Amino acid sequence: MVKKILIERAGDYRMLRLVEEEDPAPNQGEVRIAVRAIGVNYADCLVRMGVYSSAKHYVGWPITPGFEVAGVVDAVGEGVDAWQVGDEVIGVTRFGGYASRLVVSQEQVFRKPKRLSFEEAAALPAVMMTAWYGLFGLGAPRKGQRMLVHSGAGGVGSSLVQLGKIAGCEVIAVVGAPHKIEVARKLGADDVISYQTQELWPTLEHRYPDGFHLIFDANGADSLRKSYQHLAAPGRLILYGFHTMLPRQGGRPQWWRLLWTFLRTPRFQPLEMTQLNRSVLALNLSYLFEEKDLMREGMMQILGWLEEEKLVAPPIQSFPLEEAAKAHQALESAQTVGKLVLVP
């Protein structure tokens, strides 16, 4: 029997219910993975709250969240020749990952690097692919450019710091709590600023008066306007989330806060952008699954850098699958470092 987390309707942590069902069987071209670890992402919390648009578009209710797993192949369907039972793999999926067994297309399976644990491997695809596409797919970095990364010790942020250094950029990381400063430094950040101990924007203006060629921001209205104003010419602001719109406790959205934050979200003027040579770009990885060649290119490049030890897996904090609610609560607190994983 497969154990999985099922959400029947939007709500707080109580909506994460552990259920048992018959084991899924792989069809032609599919692989079944006995899951050893599952990556937890902030998007999973948004799915639970009922505000993640691609979850509504592709699945609806009920839904099992989860984009990434690591485990061992335990069954293959007809026409699968690249994988055998016993192979240690990473699997990516558009929802459904919070499960002890998972069936995915063979195109969504990648060989797990031997030097990584299952927990480390499960923590990689969503954050590193978001960072990879944001930087190389949208950002077009050039050696020597200045790059500002908000939430530089988080999952995507820590990946951006490392990839930025691979691209030859000067990387400045912004973190919240002071204990995250050393985390970002160890990942390669040239400078780290904690907004809890320093005034962020005056400090950036003093140290980097010419602005930044690349700024990565997932905060939302609280920082987007200032991020845009601190772009160099040319400069690109890349958005991949709106985290400050959502709660840090309680587990459910406050609709008045969502509305107020939406009204405060800046609207960028194309004429001004043209005159200043500034661009605003955005991404949501869950809408890119059909871009199979692009996704495979990114994953293969990431796995290659991991094998070469140019990239390291983020720090890991593990929870049992049945404690998914505790993992969500921890992630929403904004106090975690690196990545959280569930272990079936």
Of 285, 305, 329, which closes a domain? 285
In a domain, 140, yes or no: yes
What is the domain-level CATH number for residue 120? Answer: 3.90.180.10
Distance (Å, whole) CA 223 – CA 69: 32
Residue 46: φ, ψ to 5°: -65, -35
Tell whether 15 and 114 lie within a shared domain: yes
Residue 18 contacts residue 38 (beta carbons within 8 Å)? no
In a domain, 77, yes or no: yes
In a domain, 307, yes or no: no
Output the six-digit token pair for 306: 């991991």
In a domain, 207, yes or no: yes
pLDDT of residue 139: 97
In a domain, 291, yes or no: no
Tell whether 81 and 229 lie within a shared domain: no
pLDDT of residue 243: 74
- Residue 88's nearest CA partner among 34, 38, 124 is 34
Distance (Å, whole) CA 148 – CA 187: 14
Output the six-digit token pair for 45: 């919390």
Question: Does pLDDT of 177 surpass 90?
Answer: no
What are the C-alpha distances in Å from 191 to residues 129, 141, 207?
24, 18, 10
Of 267, 285, 303, which closes a domain? 285
Domain count, the chain: 2
Distance (Å, whole) CA 173 – CA 197: 14
Question: Does pLDDT of 254 surpass 80?
Answer: no
Question: Does pLDDT of 338 surpass 80?
Answer: no
Tell whether 117 and 158 lie within a shared domain: no
Return the percentage of the chain with pLDDT > 90, whole number. Answer: 82
Distance (Å, whole) CA 281 – CA 149: 15
Tell whether 186 and 272 lie within a shared domain: yes
Distance (Å, whole) CA 173 – CA 149: 5
Tell whether 145 and 276 lie within a shared domain: yes
216 residue type, one letter:
F
What is the domain-level CATH number for residue 219? Answer: 3.40.50.720
Tell whether 143 and 107 lie within a shared domain: no
Distance (Å, whole) CA 298 – CA 182: 28
Tell whether 138 and 236 lie within a shared domain: yes
Tell whether 279 and 137 lie within a shared domain: yes
In a domain, 296, yes or no: no
Residue 72's pLDDT band, with cuts at 50, 70 and 90, is very high
Tell whether 149 and 271 lie within a shared domain: yes
Tell whether 200 and 103 lie within a shared domain: no
Tell whether 42 and 120 lie within a shared domain: yes
> Phi/psi class of residue 168: alpha, beta or left (left: φ > 0; alpha: ψ in -120 to 50)?
left
Tell whether 100 and 150 lie within a shared domain: no
In a domain, 131, yes or no: yes
Question: Is the backbone peptide bond immediately before 202 cis, with ω within 30 degrees of 0?
Answer: no
The mean per-residue pLDDT over the stretch 251-279 comes to 83
pLDDT 10s digits, 108-160 = 999 999 999 999 999 999 999 999 999 999 999 999 999 999 999 888 999 99
In a domain, 300, yes or no: no
Classify each residue of 147-169 as buried b or exposed e, where b means 16 or more C-beta atoms within 10 Å of its C-beta: bbbbbbbbbbbbbbbbbbbbbeb
* Residue 22 domain boundaries: 2-124+313-343
Of 247, 269, 285, which closes a domain? 285
Residue 259's pLDDT band, with cuts at 50, 70 and 90, is confident
pLDDT 10s digits, 280-319 = 999 999 999 899 999 999 999 999 999 999 999 888 999 9
Distance (Å, whole) CA 92 – CA 105: 9
- The enclosing H or E element of 21 equals strand 17-21
